[in-house]
Amino acid sequence: MEVLEAIHCRASTRAYLDKPVDRATIESILETARWSPSGTNAQPWQVAVVTGETKRRVSETLLAERTAGHPEQPDYQYYPKQWNEPYKSRRLACGLALYSALGINRSDPQARLKSWNNNYHFFGAPVGLFFFLDRSLEKGSWVDMGMFIENVMLAALSFGLATCPQASLAEYPDIVRRLLNVPDSRALLCGMAIGYPDTAAPVNNYRTAREPVANFTAWHE
């Protein structure tokens, strides 16, 4: 797939086919992503790949923690504590588009909860990724991680795979580190679902809007 096409086609996919992805394919994706840029070539990325029984155990443990009402303890604050415009409106529009695609009404909290809990099952994807970063590194390396994660998603498209980066999978990082035997010196940035998309699922057939270039670009000539 040509690069520009891949960038335009990439979307967060929330329904997957019950079709395995072999280890060699995941290795090829990571082989491509490892060429991502990083300041001073620090290459700060650390990746944990979960499948099969390990993925099931991670999913069930995270969901149990959430269901028990235990407070989230992420390694960093992903979202602002208070949303301001224009970000507040964009967030609301994103949520509305998602739940509309799922056919879930705002007045149906049980359906919304069931949909949200699907996050912890990687939306049915056969493979999950967790992205870690050494805590000793600073914000520049977080930028590097963003470029690496994007390249993972773009490389996946070349194999006919879809992805969904998930902040929800980093809500209880201590659990993930314990289950995967990852040292506490590594911060958990996010997880990711990866697999073959279920193109017939309504949730995979909506798209969020993007601002035109003129709205976020200033020219200085």
214 found inside a domain: no
Note the pTM of the prediction, 2 decimals. 0.95
217 found inside a domain: no
How far apart, in whole angstroms, are the C-alpha atoms of residue 48 and residue 15? 22
Lookup: tokens for 18: 């019950």
216 found inside a domain: no
What is the pLDDT, as a whole number, of residue 112? 83
9 found inside a domain: yes
What is the pLDDT, as a whole number, of residue 190? 98
95 found inside a domain: yes
DSSP-derived secondary structure for 87-146: HHHHHHHHHHHHHHHHT--TT-HHHHHHHHHGGGGGGG-SEEEEEEEETTS-HHHHHHHH
What is the pLDDT, as a whole number, of residue 114? 84
What is the pLDDT, as a whole number, of residue 115? 82
| CATH number for the domain harbouring residue 95 | 3.40.109.10
What is the pLDDT, as a whole number, of residue 108? 83
DSSP element (H, E) containing 86: none
What is the pLDDT, as a whole number, of residue 109? 83
Per the listing, tokens 């200033």 go with 218
219 found inside a domain: no
For residue 7, what are the domain limits? Answer: 3-76+84-202
- Which parts of the chain sit beneath pLDDT 50? none
**Number of structural domains, the chain?**
1
Nearest to 157 by CA among 20, 10, 4, 8: 10
